[in-house]
A and B are shown apart, each in its own frame.
Chain A
Amino acid sequence: MTSTVIIDKAAPTRTVKYGSMSHDRTWALRWSYFFLTLFAIFSLVPPIYMLITSLKTSAEISAATNPWWVFHPTLSNYIGLLTSNQFLTFFRNSAFVSIFVVTITMLISVPAAFALARMRFWGSATLATGVFLTYLIPDSLLFIPLFKMFAVFGDWTGIQLINRWYVLLLIYPTLTVPFCTWIMIGYFASIPKELDEAAIIDGASWFQTLTRIFIPVAFPGIIAATIFAFTVSWAQFLYPLVFTTSTDQLVLPVGIITTLIKGDVFNWGQIMTGALLGAAPPLIIYAFLMDYYIAGLTAGATKG
């Protein structure tokens, strides 16, 4: 009896911090939200400022009023751009280039990734690494030799590719194919080997294994790769700036700055409107495919 009394007295004197786990957790969450808010503000201020500016007239933009408020909202910038043939041409060129580049990229990188991930052939591992290494070479290093190549090609064959929007269909895949192939290799590698063995025993050819098993199973990865290819080709600036010059051949990012900046006159209202309208398509695609995109990226990430 006495012994139990002693134990009972001893127990409360110990200073154990009960619930310290949840205490730590609360603070971790607070800090997380603090930084998340900080980053949200940091990344949302520019588009909000663009939106505000796009709703102003040129006079109001240059007036010395509060830049964060619209006193006389107007849609004239939007109407002006959306009724301008030039802007619609840029938009159409961008859309064509992006859609074709995505198609070309997927047609090359999905079979390439399948071959590199699954078909054991001489040098396949080296080739897989090589594919990734090509992606590491920056475009600012490549555009001059590429320009020279196309110029020489034009001289020799008489086929002029420079200053045609479709030259971009040859150039962009040098950026998108290696990266998408790499993503897809990781994704395909995460599919158990027995799955293609089962398909092969069931009578599927390599091509049927790819189209009927691998593509459906790796669909999130393919969506992720598609989004990446689309974003890269939609937002690419340096290559179109170098390779296209006539206004009817320009894509959106280059078109906006070359036609809306005249000498030292910046048509800010329309520049901001154009940039916002240009950012819309990737945004819409992201919004629809967000779940797939995250699933695709994380699956690829774990397989390195």
Chain B
Amino acid sequence: MADVTLRKVIKRYDGIEAVRGIDLDIADHEFVVLVGPSGCGKSTTLRMIAGLEDITGGDIMIGGDVVNDVPPKDRDIAMVFQNYALYPHMTVAENMSFGLRLKHYPKAEIKTRVDEAARMLDIAELVDRKPKQLSGGQRQRVAMGRAIVRNPKVFLFDEPLSNLDAKLRVQMRIEIKKVHQKVRTTTVYVTHDQVEAMTLADRVVVMNHGRIEQIGTPNDLYHNPATRFVAGFIGSPAMNFIPCRLEDVSGKPHIRLTDRIAFPLPTNRAARYQGVTRNEKLQLGLRPEHITEAKAHPEPGIEAFDAVLDVTEPMGMETLIYFTLEGAQICGRVNPNAGARDGRPLRLAVDLNNMHLLNEVTGVVV
């Protein structure tokens, strides 16, 4: 086991920069998830750590050693691929032991390790089968087993759950987390699914356009996003962005959404936004759970307003509501008993204690 360090890592293909100078420190035993939209450079970064792609610039260190020019087999890593990449002509046991056999481990030890991994992954009764006789979930377990038996310094996962159906994905997600709790191997996991990132990671690395947007714990990213991209990418349904500006009404800072709607800022936020230029074009970032039905006795920082709902989506435990404000579609979450109906008005409340204010031009959270 080992820590992984990336220093100003660059990848250029034919003049196009896929990865633009990444700095990342992954501690020993840590589970780090790289997340971002397709083409953001997350898979390329993972493949550079694996040694499957050469790096154009910078340094990659595994366990303190620079591995820029070390071939994949000598980096002591194991990788799980999206399409499983099981050897079709070998049985499950042969698939899992292939790496150990190449390194001429004693037969008894190979058997012990394979049995142990098979038991951990609940595939002990499948070891004599060929991959084509297995279901998608079972194949993914075998692919993980192949990584576990090697007992490598680092596990690399490249979108391992993307080929599975939604239900199985949730199940395997828990499985991966359990395995990591047992083996504690440093793990780098790539996904485009922010739910996977949030649920699995010790720390999440959000990437966009070949750069790191923000690194943080799942809660940190959710509650304190640094940029509009992170704010919009993490969380489902996504954060709402409403055009707004700050103005002072009788000496107190207010946030004005429309000509009719302006809310006074809560005291803690007022201090934080003291330095923001008044009347500058801004965006108010509010998560759907902070737009709810109005309560009879509002707490400080919670402001009520009226809206006509476009669409409602009853989810059972809550109802998602959609309405339009200043041309922006807004999503809120209300109690199923709040009386939300398609096309009908509803008195809503925004929780400004959890608001974010973003610069409309730079997208940076103020």
Contacts and interface: CB of A to CB of B under 8 A. Distances in A.
State yes or no: do A and B come from one complex. Answer: yes
Interface of A: 192, 194-195, 197-205, 208, 212-213, 216-217, 219
A203 B83 contact: no
B150 interface: yes
A213 B90 CA distance: 9
Contact of A201 (B73, B82, B88, B89): B73
B146 A202 contact: yes
16 contacts: A192-B83, A195-B87, A197-B52, A197-B72, A197-B79, A198-B85, A198-B146, A199-B87, A200-B52, A200-B72, A200-B73, A201-B73, A201-B99, A203-B103, A204-B98, A204-B102
Contacts of B50: 197, 201
A204 B101 CA distance: 10
B79 A198 contact: yes
Interface string B91-123: 000000011001100000000000000000000
A199 B98 contact: yes
A13 B86 CA distance: 59
Given A194-B81, A194-B83, A197-B79, A202 B89 contact: no
Interface residues of B, number: 23
Interface in B110-165: 146, 150
B88 A197 contact: no
B35 interface: no
A201 B72 contact: yes
Contacts of A195: 85, 87
- Which secondary structure dominates chain A's binding surface? helix
Nearest to B82: A194
Interface of B: 50-52, 71-73, 77-79, 81-83, 85-89, 98-99, 102-103, 146, 150
B81 A203 contact: no
Given A202-B146, A202-B150, A203-B73, A197 B102 contact: no
A217 to B, nearest CB: 6
Contact of B81 (A198, A200, A204): A198
A81 to B, nearest CB: 43
A197 B50 CA distance: 10
The 10 A-B pairs of least Cβ separation, nearest first, read A194-B85, A202-B99, A203-B73, A198-B85, A216-B89, A194-B81, A203-B102, A201-B72, A201-B79, A200-B72
Contacts of A192: 83, 85
Contact of A208 (B88, B102, B150): B102
Contacts of B99: 201-203
Nearest to A198: B85
A197 B85 contact: yes
Given A200-B72, A201-B79, 4 more contacts: A194-B81, A201-B50, A201-B77, A216-B89
A198 B145 CA distance: 13
Nearest to A195: B85
A197 B73 CA distance: 10
B73 A204 contact: yes
Contacts of B51: 201
A199 B50 CA distance: 12
Given A213-B87, A217-B87, A202 B81 contact: no
A43 B313 CA distance: 69
Contacts of A199: 87, 98
Contact of B102 (A194, A202, A216, A217): A202
Contacts of B98: 199, 202, 204, 212
A217 B73 contact: no
Contacts of A201: 50-52, 72-73, 77-79, 99
Highest count of chain A CB atoms <10 Å: which of B72, B77, B83, B103 = B72
Contact of B73 (A202, A216, A219): A202
A197 B85 CA distance: 9
A213 B102 CA distance: 12
Nearest to B74: A203
Contacts of A216: 89
Highest count of chain B CB atoms <10 Å: which of A200, A201, A216, A217 = A201
Nearest to A202: B99
A203 B73 CA distance: 4
A244 to B, nearest CB: 42
B211 to A, nearest CB: 26
Contacts of A203: 73, 99, 102-103
